[in-house]
Structure 1
Amino acid sequence: MITADATDIVRISQLIQGWGLFRDQGRWAQLAGTFVPGGTISVTWFAGAIEDFVTASRKQYKAASPRTKHLIGVPVVRVLGERAIAETNIQILGRFEHSDVAVDVTSNARFADRLIRTNDGWRIARRDAVYEKDRMDPVAPGAAFDCFMAGTDFSAIPEPYRYLGYRLITSGRSLQPGIICDGSPEADRLLADADLWLAGG
């Protein structure tokens, strides 16, 4: 196993940080440029090619805040030759309004990325989001929020992305099948497959 040197770590970290900034600020060409052409991304509401993700994100984009915010940590990176894998802790912050109640949703997750060194530098070839837990909080605490929570059944959505999923559904988006949750056999298989891919399998 070749350990990532400082230059690789910095460049991959900047790439992953850049993805969040470009996505949140609507910098679509730069967002597409964080992936190899035809690279794939799987999140709660989308699974497919990065080009289609950019198109779908652009349609949903709000010109002014409050917009969705991605807080992205420092990735843990492993490099072998021209390939790398990275796991990165993230938070997805979103606001929505339901029945005149303004609500903030915070989702904790990880990005599991497979990266390729190209002539233009490191690029993401595949990204899978692994969901851990989330929460919902009132922007202004009060009886209206308490009534909303007491009167809403969230149980159909798995706990690791329950409130994020609810926000997406109520905004008119569909949840993708096969969303990966932390600690599940699917998450274990994803990471094991990434190890094989890194080794050239």
Structure 2
Amino acid sequence: MHDRTDLLPEENAVRDERLIRELLQNWVVWRDAGDWERFRTVWHKDGRMMATWTQGTGDEFIAISKEGWVKGVSILHFLGGIAVDLAGERAISQTKMTISQRAEVEGVLADVLCTGRFYDFLEKREGKWGIVLRQPIYEKDRMDPVTPGAVPQLDRALLEQFPAGYRHLAYLQTRIGYTVKKDMPGLKGPEVEALYARGAAWLRGAAA
């Protein structure tokens, strides 16, 4: 959808923020529904996804997500509040979210619920907003058995290899065969401070 030329700057900003919010909501609905072709439209061609279990372009993320679906990998998302910082044809958005993943862990079917934020670098190109970089921030997580009373016996040494914000999520993903990135940003610390600095630089015109 292209810009209207009859809108005032303030009206264009309101419209841009609405379009960004719609894009962020569509990301979750289309990704979790496996609506891959519409999901592809939220990314720019060079857009990148940084997740605990995979890092690559939007197209690569779609390919590995489709493979996971075939294998029975179950990952769902839920969104909360959205904040958008606009700077012309660039934006940074932060979206409160939860990631829910279900898998068998040490012989026990379990759910991991991770709370955090999607931190997105967005750009409007030829009148269309798209994601250039999506970097989740992992704030806290927990693991619960699906069947009450069943208790998976976790390998404490493996569990403690991962940052506290996504420790149980990383454990589950490791156990089902993924190599998990161990330096993702959390609620506090140098990784998230560096991410905020990159976001501010992006709004000033730097590379993502």
User: Shared fold (TM-score greater than 0.5)?
Assistant: yes
Q: Distance in 1 between matches of 2:181 and 2:71?
A: 26
Give the percent of matched residue pairs that are identical in Structure 1 and Structure 2: 32
Structure 1 CA distance, aligned partners of 2:185 and 2:178?
Answer: 18
Distance 2:26 2:124 in 1: 17
CA distance in 2 between counterparts of 1:158 and 1:186 reads 11
The aligned runs of 1:39-50 (5 Å cut-off) are 39-50=47-58
Question: What residue number does 1:30 align with?
Answer: 38
User: Which residue does the alignment assign to 1:159?
Assistant: 164
CA distance in 2, matches of 1:82, 1:120: 9
Q: How much does 1:49 deviate?
A: 1.1
Return closer, same or farther for 1:62/1:70 CA change in 2, 3 Å cut-off: farther
TM-score computed with the length of structure 2 as normaliser: 0.86
The reply to whether residue 122 of structure 1 matches residue 107 of structure 2 is no
Partner Cα distance (1:114, 1:155) in 2:
31
Question: Does the 8 Å contact 1:34/1:124 carry over to 2?
Answer: yes
Q: Distance in 2 between matches of 1:28 and 1:120?
A: 22
- Secondary structure of the 1:157 match is coil
Unaligned runs of 5+ in 1: none
Q: Which amino acid aligns with 1:54?
A: I
2:78 paired residue among 71, 74, 77? 71
Partner of 2:68: 60
CA distance in 2, matches of 1:187, 1:156: 19
Rounded Cα–Cα distance in structure 1 between residues aligned with 2:128 and 2:119: 19
Flag as ranges the 4+ runs of structure 1 deviating above 6 A.
none
Q: Which residue of 1 aligns with 2:118?
A: 111
Give aligned pairs, total: 195
Separation in 2 of the partners of 1:192 and 1:156?
A: 26
Moved more, 177-186 or 122-131: 177-186
Give me the CA root mean square deviation: 2.1
CA distance in 1, matches of 2:173, 2:204: 37
1:50 is displaced (CA, Å) by: 1.0
Q: CA deviation at 1:178?
A: 3.1
The 5 Å alignment of 1:70-89 reads 70-89=77-96
Quick one: which of 98, 104, 125 aligns to 1:97?
104
How far apart are the structure 1 equivalents of 2:136 and 2:68?
19
Query: Which residue of 184, 188, 193 maps to 2:189?
Result: 184
For 2:160 and 2:194, the matched residues in 1 are separated by 26
Partner Cα separation in structure 2 for residue 94 and residue 186 of structure 1: 24
Give the letter for the 2:185 counterpart: I
Q: Is residue 23 of structure 2 the alignment partner of residue 15 of structure 1?
A: yes
Is the Cα contact below 8 Å between 2:137 and 2:186 reproduced in 1? yes
Native 8 Å contact 1:91 1:108 kept in 2: yes
Q: 195, 198, 204: which one pairs with 1:199?
A: 204
Length-normalised TM-score, structure 1: 0.89
Alpha-carbon distance in structure 2 between the residues aligned to 1:35 and 1:178: 24
8 A contact 1:13–1:74 mirrored in 2: no
Quick one: which amino acid aligns to residue 23 of structure 2? L
